[in-house]
Amino acid sequence: MLPILKPRNRSTWNARVARAQQRAEERSAASEVLTFYARVLDFQRALYEGCQKSRKLAEKRSGKLRENLDWGLAVTALADLVVLVQRHGPSTLADQSDQLTSVAGLKLASGWLNSDAQTYGPASFFSRVVLEPQAEYLAETETWPSGKVAGNRCPNCESLPQLAVIRPEGDGGKRMLLCSLCHSEWEFRRILCPSCGEENHEKLPRYIADGVPAVRVEACDSCGKYLKSVDLTLDGLAVPEVDEVATTVLDVWATEHGYSKIQSNIMGF
């Protein structure tokens, strides 16, 4: 039985940009990362709005979501992203962006998409920035069922989850997984590892940091993987994608304790 998709749960691009700007002002330690992230989100917002003008994305769709991406649009966006990174991005990304010609950029993006690479680097950052808005647009405008999708993979695009979201339901909360590519959400059991399927709660520790009770590490001692969850029952103003990036202190803690993330976020944490 496939997970139940909840497309209406997605935060708007405007909400993401505003939250990143707010968090950049509130968290001095992560201000530089969050300020750049806000610029990236603003860039992605423009790409998302431009999806309606894409002839490729407007065509009759068939096959899988990933097969319907507009690669021409992605390459054009990549050129503009290089300019943004060279003006405002960290030196490591700016130095590597010089090598992204149209052909190289296309190979890089398609290679990353087909490999499900979990290691952060230029391929991950540049590819995700230009492809996420398209994937989200496709996921919002059509359902992409696949009988081959496992419970820990997005039912729309088959990508790994980026984080978990606890959404209010009745007197408690329901756990959702949020896709790392198209930002769809699907229901997932509270006591279950999204990586290996471990069900023993004693092997599924959870950790929080002082001052950020709504965001926590959900780890697994069986496979050594973790992801973070954003609990909207504790902070209804949180924007999951942004608050996950804003709490890098938890990623540092998890790494120091031997856990590796199921999927790094777009900023590499």
**Contact predicate 221/260, CB 8 Å:** no
Q: Please state the three-class secondary structure of 64-115 as a single string.
A: CHHHHCCHHHHHHHHHHHHHHHHHHCCHHHHHHHCCCCHHHHHHHHHHHHHH
pLDDT tens, residue by residue, 32-80 = 999 999 999 999 999 999 998 898 898 878 888 999 999 989 988 988 9
> Where do the structural domains in the chain lie, given as residue ranges?
7-141, 161-261
Residue found under tokens 């201000």: 31
Query: Is the pLDDT assigned to residue 95 strictly greater than 50?
Result: yes
Query: Is the pLDDT assigned to residue 88 strictly greater than 80?
Result: yes
Higher pLDDT among residues 102 and 87, named by residue: 87
Global pTM value: 0.91
Q: What angle is formed at CA 117 by the lines to CA 116 and CA 123, rounded to 5 degrees?
A: 115
pLDDT tens, residue by residue, 213-247 = 999 999 999 999 999 999 999 999 999 999 999 99
pLDDT tens, residue by residue, 7-36 = 457 899 999 999 999 999 998 788 999 999
